[in-house]
């Protein structure tokens, strides 16, 4: 019944029949694959009861991660073992917990029967190393034991791109805070370093504002909202993994939900109201800019990252052309529709500059012909050719068009597979620099996007994983790491590994993944931060 | 960022802006939609603490379902309520628990403020009615209350097709027994009435045989196996819902795993071994038939249903042509390859006839030109035109080609959507009788299929749901019930309903589904059967 798919399987040796297809990858199932990996052929027995991680670093965040990974190293708990005690030493050159675009995330690992050592320049490099190290420890269900195979091993690793984002959309479906923390766990495993939080959209406004308290009238439900404390917990939890949180307040389009509590914010264009996504902010009144300025001031006190995304996508300009108060204003100012958009975008830029934030937008304003300041970061959801234009024009860009996890056919060329899960190969085959021939340094990286129309907390993991492994690796690993066959084996094994940690990530080919029924599937098994830890982490930008 | 998709949303009324798009379906979110539904506009308050279900029937299975649905009616438990006590009366004409193809599943429901009544000819009709009734009870998170809206209501319902199957594949990934019980819960909610258990395949043989104990050497793992007691639990649990279990032992192709413990069963064709699915049974030796005869005798003592599926798909006949012992046998008997296949299939028919079983096969033997006895039931995974041929030739058929839940593009014409989840529309739009113009009575129904190469227990629900709602409705409801807009609303609301019961089924458009974090997502919340109940249920075929 099943046609033309690729199957890898372990050799079955029988008396009269030999099925001789060998697995095509033998080695540690590290995802993303490190820049330099040297392996031996010995196996180190690991005793979870006596295993320790030590550091001289005074970093609180590194301390949190040592506690976290002490648990993550041993997902099946403290089984009996006669193996000798091992100590993993973590050395960092700096104890600084500053986190910003381009921070050094490099690290090295030495693992042999004499020493287990992580070396990094920063705390964040050490956190990346701990994740890699966790993937070296293998659970052997038949022996109920942990081992580190492939020793002696050395790893030297660093990311290819500084911007490795993951976009979630809580405007189309509310995701509970606890689930967002689970998402952060999950994307940290692939070394993503940005959570792009598309927090509101046309369908709902789930963010509590103390300045504009009616905004949450636009939430799906009075209990489906994010408090300031919720947002701070998300940011602190993300930062504990070295993940920056970039908020997106998508305007002037996709803003209908703002109008539930504050109707005067919304332009009047009844003939476009058949699609709620078409509704636009009324850009012809000072009230709107005052509102945005106050709201963004409040929000930037929570969202501590340098970057602040204001959307700008899919603005149905003709809606403005239908509102007589807006057309009157345009006429007075001698604006056409694009100039009206440009005026709005310039106001946003001023607001954000005054808040000491760098503006980020989708590619639409550029496409419309809006002049933007050169420090604007542009997220491209259109095409490689537009990316080329944008970086040639001197803007920094990140690419997303090939990384839409919700699409039936995510391949920009429309290529399809037999099984839907095999779309991981499309993500894997899409390099951010594909067809970019000049100004390549302006491409900062990329972002996986899971738009929220058809996904909530019960379906999120499976819609995203294991396919997102391919995007995580594409953004971190060397551009030469592209072989589908070896990736298939690593990804399926790594998918089992993260499933054992509570991510609902399934397989890519027939195999067996040890998943006792008492593992709380889909539950975040690890740890939360205490309120004191959250407050402390947030003190340090 | 999100283009061209369809959005339905509740009207948002604001002072200066009216977004006037109304939801396109107003009424109870019953899936599959009943044959006849009459609704009023009143709301009945339901007090879970005093609600009772009573019956005069002596059926043990009906008793189990009354206990089961007493819980399923109130997924959020015994909240406080001042509403008066209500009693649902269940009346069945017969207490028989016989279950077979074509059994009467019809029922009617009357619900008003004077009476709540279910009437059915059989126990199974009453079970279907209890599921429908459960979908009438609405949980209102804002009031923390249960109600039955749309009363006074009458429903008269019966299935369009007698064969409404769901195929699972435990050959490509082992699914734990507890998870198969969860699957049975899940498919019962859409009134599927057959679990087609594709239990072994080329990649693994997870079934314990007391006759041939080495067969489980072909399992993925020594603990990834089904004991006789496991199989009996699955069958009894399925029967408790009125679901028949049809086993598939797929031969002569897809049989490599048989050869791990019994290598002499497998034909020798090294040049085809690059794909494990190509390996075939050696059909030229009496040993093979003796083996199958003994094994099927053992298995038919467990699998009590009349139907027994022997696969027969994707037989790479040329493999036999490469084995000198088989070519010698063919020459002696003056067989070509198709005649060799026909000989094998005839032997299977004889074995099953002696075991009082009706044979079921995929369409491949027919396609190859094999003559089959006319009582063979043919499952079509090829096309409507082949279905037409098969039913015109006098065979009974069920269709599956348009119901492959694992495919990226399940639409036989290759039509695609923006989001993958929207493939539910392809399933919904595919009628088993599409392009069947003659011998339509020979089409018994259809089967949803989720092939197991890329799915295990952590990903199963989300790969299948909510899309399978569309197939369940297509096989049960009137052929005129095809409107995508109303189905979209019912399916998304019903998806939330089953998510509240523990099925990981996500949404199809932006909305809010009340899912407290303490609902054990993906866990089977309901009930198991006691060993005494299992034994008692299995006594009655």
- List phi, psi (to 5°) of A289: -70, -35
* pLDDT recorded at residue B304: 96
Of A21, A221, A274, the CB nearest to B512: A221
Encoding tokens for residue A446?
A: 């990329």
First and final C-alpha spacing in chain B: 55
Q: Which of A17, A273, A509, A528 should one mutate to test binding to chain B, selecting the residue with the greatest count of B CBs within 10 A?
A: A17
Report the C-alpha gap between A121 and A98 in whole angstroms: 13
Inspect the interface and report whether the beta carbons of A7 and B499 lie closer than 8 Å.
no
Q: Which of A2, A5, A282, A469 should one mutate to test binding to chain B, selecting the residue with the greatest count of B CBs within 10 A?
A: A2
Of A14, A204, A279, the CB nearest to B19: A279
- Whether residue A10 lies within 8 A of chain B, CB to CB, comes out as no
Q: Which pLDDT band holds residue A15 (cuts at 50, 70, 90)?
A: very low
pLDDT tens digits along B390-400: 999 999 999 99
Instruction: Locate the DSSP E strands across A93-144.
Output: 107-111, 116-120, 138-140
Report the C-alpha gap between A345 and A220 in whole angstroms: 28
* pLDDT recorded at residue B17: 33
Considering the candidates B22, B233, B248, B314, report the single residue annotated as catalytic.
B314
- Whether residue B271 lies within 8 A of chain A, CB to CB, comes out as no
Higher pLDDT, B265 or B12: B265
Inspect the interface and report whether the beta carbons of B453 and A420 lie closer than 8 Å.
no
Find out whether B165 and B445 touch, Cβ atoms under 8 Å.
yes
Sequence-ordered list of residues with C-beta below 8 angstroms from that of B112, at least 6 positions apart, any chain = B40, B44, B151, B152, B153
* pLDDT recorded at residue B534: 83
pLDDT tens digits along A125-178: 999 999 999 999 999 988 999 999 999 999 999 999 999 999 999 999 999 999
Considering only CA atoms, which of A212, A241, A237, A216 is closest in space to residue A226?
A216
Inspect the interface and report whether the beta carbons of B517 and A178 lie closer than 8 Å.
yes
pLDDT tens digits along A59-69: 999 999 999 99
Q: How far is A164 from chain B (nearest CA, A)?
A: 19
Inspect the interface and report whether the beta carbons of A416 and B417 lie closer than 8 Å.
no
Question: Given a cut of 60, is residue A21 above it in pLDDT?
Answer: no
Which residues of chain A lie closer than 8 angstroms to B499, CB-CB?
458
Which helix (H) or strand (E) segment holds residue A213: the answer is none
Inspect the interface and report whether the beta carbons of A408 and B409 lie closer than 8 Å.
yes
Residue with tokens 């509570």: A502
Phi-psi region of B242 (alpha: psi -120 to 50; beta: other; left: phi over 0): left
* pLDDT recorded at residue B271: 95
Of B16, B141, B203, the CB nearest to A510: B203
* pLDDT recorded at residue B20: 37
Find out whether B398 and B443 touch, Cβ atoms under 8 Å.
yes
Report the C-alpha gap between B123 and B128 in whole angstroms: 9
pLDDT tens digits along A85-128: 999 999 999 999 999 999 999 999 999 999 999 999 999 999 99
Inspect the interface and report whether the beta carbons of B462 and A457 lie closer than 8 Å.
no
- Whether residue B514 lies within 8 A of chain A, CB to CB, comes out as yes
Q: Which pLDDT band holds residue A523 (cuts at 50, 70, 90)?
A: very low
From A521, which residue of chain B is nearest by alpha-carbon distance? B458
Interface contacts A/B by beta carbons within 8 Å: 269
* pLDDT recorded at residue A515: 87
Q: Which of B269, B453, B464 should one mutate to test binding to chain A, selecting the residue with the greatest count of A CBs within 10 A?
A: B453
* pLDDT recorded at residue B18: 35
- Whether residue A76 lies within 8 A of chain B, CB to CB, comes out as no
- Whether residue A20 lies within 8 A of chain B, CB to CB, comes out as yes
Mean pLDDT of A273-298: 96
From B311, which residue of chain A is nearest by alpha-carbon distance? A1
Mean pLDDT across chain A, nearest whole number? 92
Inspect the interface and report whether the beta carbons of B259 and A203 lie closer than 8 Å.
no
Sequence-ordered list of residues with C-beta below 8 angstroms from that of B31, at least 6 positions apart, any chain = B135, B190, B469, B472, B473, B490, B491, B494
Considering the candidates A314, A322, A341, A473, report the single residue annotated as catalytic.
A314
Find out whether A311 and A361 touch, Cβ atoms under 8 Å.
yes
Q: Which pLDDT band holds residue B294 (cuts at 50, 70, 90)?
A: very high
* pLDDT recorded at residue A20: 37
* pLDDT recorded at residue A531: 79
- Angstrom distances, CA of residue B272 to CA of A511, B321, B322: 21, 11, 9
pLDDT tens digits along B296-348: 999 999 999 999 999 999 999 999 999 999 999 999 999 999 999 999 999 99
Q: Which pLDDT band holds residue A23 (cuts at 50, 70, 90)?
A: low
Inspect the interface and report whether the beta carbons of B173 and A510 lie closer than 8 Å.
yes
Mean pLDDT across chain B, nearest whole number? 92
* pLDDT recorded at residue B5: 34
Higher pLDDT, A166 or A1: A166
Inspect the interface and report whether the beta carbons of A449 and B224 lie closer than 8 Å.
no
Helices B531-539 and B228-240, packing angle to 10 deg: 70
The distance of Cα B161 from the centroid of its chain, to the nearest Å, equals 13
Q: How far is A248 from chain B (nearest CA, A)?
A: 13
* pLDDT recorded at residue A521: 44
Inspect the interface and report whether the beta carbons of A507 and B455 lie closer than 8 Å.
yes
The distance of Cα A287 from the centroid of its chain, to the nearest Å, equals 35
Question: Given a cut of 80, is residue A22 above it in pLDDT?
Answer: no
Domains belonging to chain A, first-starting first, are: 31-158 (3.30.379.10), 163-500 (3.20.20.80)
Find out whether A510 and B204 touch, Cβ atoms under 8 Å.
yes
Considering only CA atoms, which of B203, B218, B209, B241 is closest in space to residue B64?
B241
Give the number of residues written for chain B: 541
Residue with tokens 């397989």: A507
What 3-state class would DSSP assign to A140? Answer: strand
Task: Look at the alpha carbons of A517, A523, A524, A527 in this order and tell me if their dihedral is positive or negative.
Answer: negative
* pLDDT recorded at residue A142: 86
Considering only CA atoms, which of B201, B171, B312, B414 is closest in space to residue A418?
B414
Q: Which pLDDT band holds residue B23 (cuts at 50, 70, 90)?
A: low
Other C-beta atoms closer than 10 Å to the C-beta of B300 total: 18
Q: Which pLDDT band holds residue B527 (cuts at 50, 70, 90)?
A: low
* pLDDT recorded at residue A4: 34
From B170, which residue of chain A is nearest by alpha-carbon distance? A510
Q: How far is A506 from chain B (nearest CA, A)?
A: 5
Higher pLDDT, A319 or B526: A319
pLDDT tens digits along A365-402: 999 999 999 999 999 999 999 999 999 999 999 999 99
Report the C-alpha gap between B123 and B130 in whole angstroms: 11
Question: Given a cut of 90, is residue A11 above it in pLDDT?
Answer: no
Question: Given a cut of 50, is residue A356 above it in pLDDT?
Answer: yes
Report the C-alpha gap between A534 and B7 in whole angstroms: 38
* pLDDT recorded at residue B170: 98
ipTM score here?
A: 0.93
From A364, which residue of chain B is nearest by alpha-carbon distance? B1
3-state secondary structure A52-67: EEEECCCCHHHHHHHH
Q: Which of A383, A399, A458 should one mutate to test binding to chain B, selecting the residue with the greatest count of B CBs within 10 A?
A: A458
Inspect the interface and report whether the beta carbons of B16 and A452 lie closer than 8 Å.
no
Parallel/antiparallel/unpaired status of strands B244-251 and A153-157: unpaired
* pLDDT recorded at residue A2: 38
Question: Given a cut of 60, is residue B525 above it in pLDDT?
Answer: no
A314 assigned to active site: yes
Q: Which pLDDT band holds residue A532 (cuts at 50, 70, 90)?
A: confident
Encoding tokens for residue B128?
A: 């279907």
pLDDT tens digits along B181-228: 999 999 999 999 999 999 999 999 999 999 999 999 999 999 999 999
Ranges A74-83, A235-244, A530-539, most confident:
A235-244
- Whether residue A512 lies within 8 A of chain B, CB to CB, comes out as yes
Q: Which pLDDT band holds residue B11 (cuts at 50, 70, 90)?
A: very low
């Amino acid at each position: 019944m099943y046609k033309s798919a690729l199957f890898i399987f372990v050799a079955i040796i029988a008396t009269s029949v030999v099925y001789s297809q060998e697995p095509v990858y033998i080695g540690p199932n590290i995802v993303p694959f490190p820049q330099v990996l040297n392996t031996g052929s010995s196996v180190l027995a690991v005793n979870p009861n006596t295993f320790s991680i030590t550091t001289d670093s005074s970093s609180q965040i590194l301390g949190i991660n040592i506690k976290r990974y002490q648990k993550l190293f041993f997902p099946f708990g403290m089984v009996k073992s006669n193996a000798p005690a091992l100590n993993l030493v973590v050395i960092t050159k700096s104890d600084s917990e500053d986190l910003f675009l381009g921070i050094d995330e490099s690290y090295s690992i030495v693992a042999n029967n004499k020493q287990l050592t992580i070396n990094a320049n920063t705390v964040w490099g050490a956190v990346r190393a701990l994740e890699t190290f966790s993937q070296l420890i293998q659970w052997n269900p038949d022996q109920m034991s942990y081992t580190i195979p492939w020793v002696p091993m050395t790893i030297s690793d660093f990311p290819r791109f500084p911007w490795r984002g993951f976009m979630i959309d809580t405007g189309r479906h509310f995701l509970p805070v606890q689930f967002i923390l689970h998402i952060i766990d999950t994307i940290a495993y692939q070394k993503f370093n940005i959570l792009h939080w598309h927090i509101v959209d046309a369908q709902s406004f789930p963010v509590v504002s103390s300045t504009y308290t009616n905004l949450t009238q636009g939430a799906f439900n009075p209990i489906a909202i994010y408090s300031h404390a919720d947002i701070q917990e998300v940011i602190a939890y993300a930062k504990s993994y070295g993940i920056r949180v970039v908020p997106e307040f998508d305007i002037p389009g996709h803003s209908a939900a703002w109008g539930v509590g504050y109707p005067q914010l919304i332009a009047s264009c009844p003939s476009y109201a058949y699609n709620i996504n078409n509704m636009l902010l009324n850009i012809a009144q000072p009230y709107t800019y005052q509102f945005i300025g106050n709201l963004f001031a409040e929000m930037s006190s929570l969202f501590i990252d340098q970057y602040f995304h204001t959307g700008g996508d899919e603005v149905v300009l003709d809606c403005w052309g239908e509102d007589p108060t807006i057309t009157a204003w345009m006429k007075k100012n001698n604006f056409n529709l694009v100039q009206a958009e440009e005026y709005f975008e310039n106001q946003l830029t001023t607001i954000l500059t005054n808040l000491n934030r760098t503006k980020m937008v989708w590619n639409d304003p550029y496409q419309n012909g809006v002049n933007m300041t050169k420090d604007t970061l542009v997220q491209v959801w259109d095409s490689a050719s537009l990316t080329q234009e944008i970086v040639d024009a001197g803007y920094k860009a990140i690419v997303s068009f090939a990384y839409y996890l919700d699409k039936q056919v995510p391949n920009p060329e429309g290529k399809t597979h037999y099984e839907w899960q095999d779309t991981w190969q499309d993500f894997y085959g899409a390099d951010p620099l594909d067809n970019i021939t000049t100004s390549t340094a302006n491409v900062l990286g990329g972002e996986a996007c899971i738009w929220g129309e058809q996904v909530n907390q019960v379906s999120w993991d499976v819609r995203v994983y294991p396919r997102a492994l391919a995007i995580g690796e594409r953004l971190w690993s060397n551009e030469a790491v592209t072989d589908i066959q070896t990736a298939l084996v690593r990804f399926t094994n790594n998918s089992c590994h993260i499933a054992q940690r509570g991510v609902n990530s399934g397989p890519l080919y027939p195999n067996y993944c040890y998943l006792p029924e008492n593992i709380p599937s889909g539950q975040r098994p690890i740890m939360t931060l205490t309120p004191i830890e959250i407050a402390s982490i947030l003190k340090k930008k």
